[in-house]
Amino acid sequence: MTAYDPDNIFAKILRGEIPSTRVYEDDDTLAFMDIMPRADGHLLVIPKTPCRNLLDASPAQLAAVMATTQKLSHAVVNAFGADGVTIQQFNEAAGGQEVFHLHFHVLPRHADVSLRA
């Protein structure tokens, strides 16, 4: 697999080199709003340590990111009055990944409302 690129966009967001709307942070993870939201409240959860994607993740990185993803899923249901939550995650270009730092999409869902393109 290709090596982790420390100049990917999310690494720059982690270092504060480019702006983002941060919504949650702990010792191991950061969450911020997606710049092109496909649903109201669409956010991204990432580990703070270098990790290209799921295929590159340690058990500890996965556990931390999943714990934050679950926590924020509860939060968006409450904050947006959502009926459900879709979690998306892509790996490598062939798998639909565009930014090569592990991330989980949290997409609040409402009954009968489709995700935007």
Q: Give residues in contact with ligand 5GP (CB under 6 A).
A: 9, 20, 32-36, 90, 96-99, 103
Tell the smallest beta-carbon distance from residue 44 to ligand 5GP (Å): 6
Closer Cβ to ligand 5GP, 7 or 98, answer by number? 98
Tell the smallest beta-carbon distance from residue 40 to ligand 5GP (Å): 14
Closer Cβ to ligand 5GP, 38 or 71, answer by number? 38
Tell the smallest beta-carbon distance from residue 72 to ligand 5GP (Å): 15
Q: Which one-letter amino acid corresponds to residue 30? A: L
Q: Which residues are catalytic?
A: 103
Closest CA to 105 of 58, 97, 12: 97
Tokens of 101: 């730092």
